[in-house]
Structures are given as structure tokens and as C-alpha cells.
Amino acid sequence: FSGDLTERYTFWNSFAYGFTFWLLLYGTNQSTIQRFLSVGNLKKAQQALILSIPFLMCFAVFTLWDGIALYALFHDCDPMEDERVKLRSADQLMPYGILYIFGNIPGITGLCIAGVFSASLGALSSAVNALANITVEDFIKPFCCFKKISDTWMTFIAKLLAVGYTGLILLMALVASSFRSILEAATIVYCMITAPILGMYLLGMFTTTANEQGTLIGLLMGVTLYAWAGFGNYITKPEITTLPRNTTGCHTNSSVDLLSVSTEAIVIENVPEVLHLTRDEESGIFTVYKLSYMWLPLFSVVITLVVGYVASSLLKYKWTSNDNTGLERNNFPNSEDSEVRL
């Protein structure tokens, strides 16, 4: 329950991150909205949203349970500190736990890994499809030179765009591999755009002052500051305080010896050195770069709201002043008209 904004994981930043992430995922994410639109009408979309809540809660509970199970399994022999294993990233705990538990059962390890990949590929396919459709509908069809193209050619163009976006996602995956955790990489890259978009929607929903120019200024400010703080944290890599780690039970655990060789060959040696979780020296690092990345989505939404509202108010006041000035001038006849009337 610490209120320190630089502490990586606390109750408050976890709550803020979860609230903001699921709000933008179910409220403004194109893949989700695309699914809602496919059911036919508003009532069915609302029913689909309500029915998805129990499954989402089960998913969250099982995810948290995985972490508790891993802690119970390695509470006295942390693989991050065990010299025979020496994992370099906390992201490796889950696959190592699968190897540790099911390594002696043929096929189970592959089944677990296949389940993880199938879930991720399902989400990626929806995202690629949404990106291709948005590009075709909003950026290609409106141009006059593309209005006469048949639907067959538009479908072909959408498929080419899907291939291009897939290649871009692969490049982003290579960049994400240099982050200290997968969750950090996903949050910084994904929420850098989606969080300000959520702020833009909220600005339009709850205020009547918002206008196009002011909202665009707020959106750009939210994206810029988010990218500055997020990638600044990625470049400087400030020190992360972790919980105490225990290795007193490692010498009594013989199962680790059976898996240490294969795990080092498969999981550890292919991980770059930049995934170290701590850094001894962080003097001179700007305070903004030390902020926990869990706060960044919420801060970006708030910045977009505030800047967008202020900019819209100022622009609206300027336009209103100009319009009033013009009306006042029209109410008074010029000198030539006055002379004629006289």
C-alpha cells in the first residue's frame, strides 16, 4: 500500500493500471469494438459484454493463482538466485515452472507452451485484422482514386496490409525483448497510443467544451509525455527494489539438477544481458524516468483530459471573441453609410 510513485509494484499502481487497462481495452480498443459490432445490435453487444465478465474474472484469478503457485513452489529455492539455474528475468519463471513440474511427463510441456502460443496468436490475429480494416476504411477508401476499386481488390489490399502489419509486430517484438519484462514492454508500447485515445473519448463524453483542435492537442500531449517517460525509463533502467530471495532449500532439491542443463540451454543463454532486473548506480537519473510504468496509462489519460479541456476552452474562447467582435462591427454602420443616411 505504499504511495511511492517510483516503487515498481504496489497495490495502488496495480489498481490504477488494471482499472485503466481494462477500461481502454473494453471501451475504445478496435479489436473489442469490432467484436461487439459483429453480433448484430446494441442489446446483443451489451449481453456479450456482460457475459464476458465472469470469464475475465476467472482469467484474472487463474493468472494470480499461477503467481502464488510459483512462489509456493520456489519459496525456499529462488531460480533467480540459484547458481545452477540463474534465471535472468522474472518472465522465465513461468516456463521454468512448467519444465520443473511437467518435465518428466512427455507431451505435457509442449501442450502448455502450445496453449500459451495459441492464446497470443488469437489476440494478434484480431489486432492485425483490425489494423488492416481501419487502414482500408479510413485512409484508403476516402481518396477519389480508390473509390472505383472493386471489393476484390480492396480485400487484396487489406491482406497485403495485414502481412505488413505482421512484419511490423515482429520488429516490435525484437525491440520488446530488450525490456526488463514483457509486461513493461507491452504496457509502454501498447498503452502509449491507447491510453490517450481513452482520454480523448472521455473528454468527448463528459464535457461539452471539447472541440477537434483542442482534443488533438491533448491527444498529442498525452502520447508525447507517455513516450518520454516510458522510453526514458527503458533507456536509463533505474534500480528496482525486489523482495528478499531465499535459496536455503536449493541444496535439498534434486529436481532442479535434472532440469538445470536443459533450462540453461533453452531459456537462459538466448536472453540478452539487458534483461537484468537491478542496477547498482542510478545517480543523475531524472525523477520522471523513475516512475513505475504501472502509473503511466492513468497519467496519460489524465494529461489528455486536462490538456484537451484547457486547449478546447482557450480555442473556443478565442473563436467566440472573434465572432462577437465581428457581430459588433456589423451592428454599427460605417462612415460612408452614415453620410448617406444623413
Helix, strand, coil percentages, rounded to 5, for the chain: 75, 0, 25
Is 310 a member of any domain? yes
Chain-centre distance for alpha carbon 127: 13
Q: Is the pLDDT of residue 148 over 60?
A: yes
pLDDT of residue 257: 45
Is 188 a member of any domain? yes
Is 192 a member of any domain? yes
Rounded to an integer, the average pLDDT of 89-102 is 81
Contacts by residues 254-259 (CB-CB < 8 Å, ≥ 24 positions apart): 255/100, 256/77, 256/79, 256/82, 256/84, 256/85, 256/100, 257/84, 258/103, 258/104, 259/85, 259/96, 259/99, 259/100, 259/103
Q: What is the DSSP letter of 301?
A: H
As for how many domains the chain has, the answer is 1
Is 217 a member of any domain? yes
Alpha carbons 264 and 85: distance in angstroms, whole number: 7
Is 15 a member of any domain? no
Is 89 a member of any domain? no
Collapsing DSSP states into helix, strand and coil, what is residue 155? helix
Q: Is the pLDDT of residue 261 over 60?
A: no
**Contacts of residue 299, Cβ cutoff 8 Å, sequence gap at least 6:** 225, 226, 229, 291
Is 123 a member of any domain? no
pLDDT band with cut points at 50, 70 and 90 for residue 5:
confident
Q: Tell me which H or E stretch contains 5.
A: none
pLDDT band with cut points at 50, 70 and 90 for residue 332:
very low
pLDDT band with cut points at 50, 70 and 90 for residue 220:
very high
Is 289 a member of any domain? yes
Q: Is the pLDDT of residue 134 over 60?
A: yes
C-alpha cell at 254: 534434486
Q: Is the pLDDT of residue 218 over 50?
A: yes
For CA atoms 178, 181, 186, 192, the dihedral sign is negative
Burial bucket for residue 114 (CB in 10 Å: 0-12, 13-18, 19+): exposed
pLDDT of residue 325: 45
Q: Which domain holds residue 209?
A: 181-239+281-318
Whole-number percent of the chain with pLDDT over 70? 78
Rounded to an integer, the average pLDDT of 191-195 is 84
Prediction pTM value: 0.69
* Residue 246: count of CB within 10 angstroms of its CB: 13
Alpha carbons 161 and 166: distance in angstroms, whole number: 8
Amino acid making up residue 190: Y
Q: Are 308 and 214 in contact (CB under 8 A)?
A: yes
pLDDT of residue 144: 61
Burial bucket for residue 247 (CB in 10 Å: 0-12, 13-18, 19+): middle
The candidate with the shortest Cα–Cα distance to 253, out of 75, 69, 77, 98, is 77
Q: What is the DSSP letter of 1?
A: -
pLDDT of residue 270: 39
Lowest mean pLDDT among 107-111, 112-116, 130-134, 175-179: 175-179
pLDDT band with cut points at 50, 70 and 90 for residue 303:
very high
Higher pLDDT: 308 or 30? It is: 308
